[in-house]
Amino acid sequence: MKDDRDIWFPSKTYGWGWGPPRKWQGWAVLAIFVLAIAGIAMRFPPNARPLEFFALLVLACAVLTLVCWWKGEPPRWRWGNRKP
């Protein structure tokens, strides 16, 4: 189990995945992701170069998912704050 101090991305209360970042490092990763998407869209406009745009978009999303998996709570389906 990960130490709470090491978790950048907490799990969502409902559903599968991660919620908003808990630490400044998580916010920095999210800001870099948004800037990367903007840079990809400017360098490879989706209407002019759709293959490159979507390939790099998938790559950026994969990198964000890997960082969330590495520095976030373990993902699993959650149904709220139910008692086990």
Is residue 82, in this structure, part of any structural domain at all? no
Is residue 25, in this structure, part of any structural domain at all? no
Q: pLDDT by residue (tens digit) across 6-34?
A: 899 999 888 899 999 999 999 999 999 99
Q: Are 33 and 25 in contact (CB under 8 A)?
A: no
Is residue 52, in this structure, part of any structural domain at all? yes
Question: The pTM is what?
Answer: 0.83
Structural domain of 52: 44-73
Q: What percent of the chain has pLDDT over 70?
A: 89
Is residue 15, in this structure, part of any structural domain at all? no
Number of domains in the chain: 1
Q: How confident is the model at residue 83 (pLDDT cuts 50, 70, 90)?
A: low
Give the mean model confidence (pLDDT) for residues 42-58: 96
